[in-house]
């Protein structure tokens, strides 16, 4: 079967929507499907698996910012999208922007089965503008997403029940849907790892995620600054993003400045298996796979109780939850756990036993979703 995957933001970075796109592409190809990715990633030009559309020019300041975030923003016409979808028998949209909207209109006209994933919250968008507290604005964006894309597709893929409930509450609609996790990488597992000598005598606290407002890494850095163990703590912030300079400035106030960079998956497995405590301070989080992968390495985790974060639901128990962006109380949680090795071990074992699904399991469910949508579409055509 010829399947088209659409991602308006695919570029050179490594955030969640990129990982989802590549995981789905690899799985579908392994099942024998012919897959084409439609995206603005100019580095993919000439690759037979990609139909690359032009990048949108936003002007020098915004172009610089978008590049720093690590994405490309698409510029596409209806005519170009029709060409890209020539011969497609199924369409799956990763992002809810212009490419997906063109695709949904074409799918309806040509009766092509189409599904759309829900991987971007309205709050992710408004957080960049410091407007994420404006509930009316977020609701308006959700309603626009519904109007321009999600009401037009045959089903929606939600990575968590949290985002399904959140979206349906905002738009006051219920649509055909599947809740399927994006899945943890099977490489993330508990194993014996030699701790590098540079970490001798240090507690390692790790947090993974894009350097952005909604990921709220400053909450962790400020809490560590308030910790009575601050002289003995080494923070590892795995990621990159627009707030890198800000976090480096904050980190200079710590006795041990944070280690900040992008790590390979294999490097992250080793780091997590050396980690004493994983902290997930994001206050806007659709799933939080990085936290789940830490749990699969048996790392005791602390998770924000933000009402806009799905990761809260994955906490091993109540002792692993801290008040959203409360640096003083987070510092107390950190101090309590670092002082109690037995408690860290208890929580680590409980995290390890959590029911986290792996990528291959989740992609098999995605394949089953596609088959179900196709079957229903044929039944409707035959009725």
pLDDT tens sequence across 338-359? 999 999 999 999 998 888 889 9
Of residues 60 and 184, more confidently modeled: 184
pLDDT above 70 for 293: yes
pLDDT above 90 for 16: no
Confidence of residue 73 (pLDDT cuts 50, 70, 90): low
Q: Give pLDDT, residue 34.
A: 95
Q: Give pLDDT, residue 18.
A: 83
Query: In sequence order, what E strands does 13-57 have?
Result: 34-39, 50-52
Q: Give pLDDT, residue 191.
A: 94
Q: Give pLDDT, residue 53.
A: 86
- Which of the residue ranges 11-15, 199-203, 262-266 would you say has the lowest mean pLDDT? 11-15
- CA 70/CA 65 separation, integer angstroms: 9
Q: Give pLDDT, residue 142.
A: 97
- CA 113/CA 176 separation, integer angstroms: 13
pLDDT above 80 for 313: yes
User: Tokens in use for 192?
Assistant: 């014996």
The CA-atom distances, in angstroms, between 20 and each of 94, 132, 148, 202 are 8, 25, 22, 35
Mean local confidence (pLDDT), 162-183 = 97
Q: Which domains, ranges and CATH numbers included, belong to the chain?
A: 2-183+359-382 (3.40.50.2000), 197-352 (3.40.50.2000)
Q: Give pLDDT, residue 94.
A: 95
Mean local confidence (pLDDT), 356-378 = 94
- Which of the residue ranges 112-121, 253-262, 309-318 would you say has the lowest mean pLDDT? 309-318
Confidence of residue 58 (pLDDT cuts 50, 70, 90): low
Q: Give pLDDT, residue 72.
A: 56
pLDDT above 80 for 91: yes
Q: Considering the entire predicted model, what is its pTM?
A: 0.92
Contact between 309 and 284 under an 8 Å Cβ cutoff? The reply is yes
Percentage of the chain lying above the pLDDT 70 cut: 93
Q: Give pLDDT, residue 355.
A: 81
pLDDT above 80 for 68: no
Contact between 149 and 104 under an 8 Å Cβ cutoff? The reply is yes
Q: Give pLDDT, residue 381.
A: 80
Length of the chain: 383
pLDDT in tens, 209-223: 999 999 999 999 999
Q: Give pLDDT, residue 287.
A: 94
pLDDT above 80 for 12: no
Task: Write out the DSSP string of 53-69.
Answer: PPBP---HHHHHHHHHH
Kindly state the helix (H) or strand (E) to which residue 23 belongs, with its residue range. helix 16-30
pLDDT in tens, 116-166: 999 999 999 899 889 999 999 999 999 999 999 999 999 999 999 999 999
Mean local confidence (pLDDT), 16-38 = 92
- CA 253/CA 327 separation, integer angstroms: 15
Q: Give pLDDT, residue 2.
A: 94
């Amino acid at each position: 079967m010829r399947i088209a995957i659409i991602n308006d933001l695919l570029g050179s970075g490594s955030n969640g929507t990129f990982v989802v796109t590549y995981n789905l592409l690899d799985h579908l190809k392994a099942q024998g499907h012919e897959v084409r990715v439609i995206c603005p990633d100019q580095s993919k030009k000439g690759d037979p698996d990609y139909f690359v559309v032009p990048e949108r020019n936003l002007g020098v300041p915004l172009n610089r910012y978008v590049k720093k975030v690590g994405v490309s923003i698409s510029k596409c016409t209806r005519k170009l999208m029709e060409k890209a979808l020539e011969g497609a028998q199924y369409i799956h949209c990763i992002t809810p922007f212009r490419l997906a909207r063109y695709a949904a209109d074409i799918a309806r006209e040509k009766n092509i089965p189409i599904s759309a994933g829900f991987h971007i919250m309205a709050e992710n968008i408004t957080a960049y503008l410091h407007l994420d507290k404006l509930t009316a604005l977020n609701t308006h964006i959700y309603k626009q997403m519904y109007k321009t894309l999600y009401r037009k597709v045959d089903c929606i893929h939600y990575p968590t029940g949290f985002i399904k409930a959140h979206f349906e509450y905002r738009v006051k609609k219920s649509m055909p849907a599947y809740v399927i996790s994006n899945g943890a990488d099977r490489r993330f597992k508990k194993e014996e790892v030699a701790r590098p000598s540079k970490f001798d005598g240090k507690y390692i606290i790790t947090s993974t995620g894009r350097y952005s407002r909604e990921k709220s890494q400053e909450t962790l850095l400020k809490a560590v600054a308030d910790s009575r163990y601050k002289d003995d703590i080494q923070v590892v912030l795995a990621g990159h993003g627009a707030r890198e300079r800000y976090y480096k400035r904050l980190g200079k106030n710590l006795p041990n400045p944070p280690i900040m960079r992008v790590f390979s998956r294999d490097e992250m497995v080793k780091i997590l298996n050396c980690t004493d405590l994983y902290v997930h301070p994001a206050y806007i989080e659709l799933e939080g796979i990085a936290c789940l992968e830490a749990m699969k390495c048996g790392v005791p985790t602390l998770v924000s109780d933000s009402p806009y974060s799905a990761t809260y639901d994955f906490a091993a128990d109540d002792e692993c939850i801290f008040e959203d962006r409360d640096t003083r109380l987070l510092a107390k949680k950190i101090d309590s756990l670092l002082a109690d090795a037995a408690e860290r071990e208890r929580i680590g074992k409980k995290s390890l036993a959590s029911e986290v699904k792996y990528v291959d399991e989740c992609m098999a469910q995605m394949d089953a979703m596609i088959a179900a949508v196709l079957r229903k579409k044929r039944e409707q055509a035959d009725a």
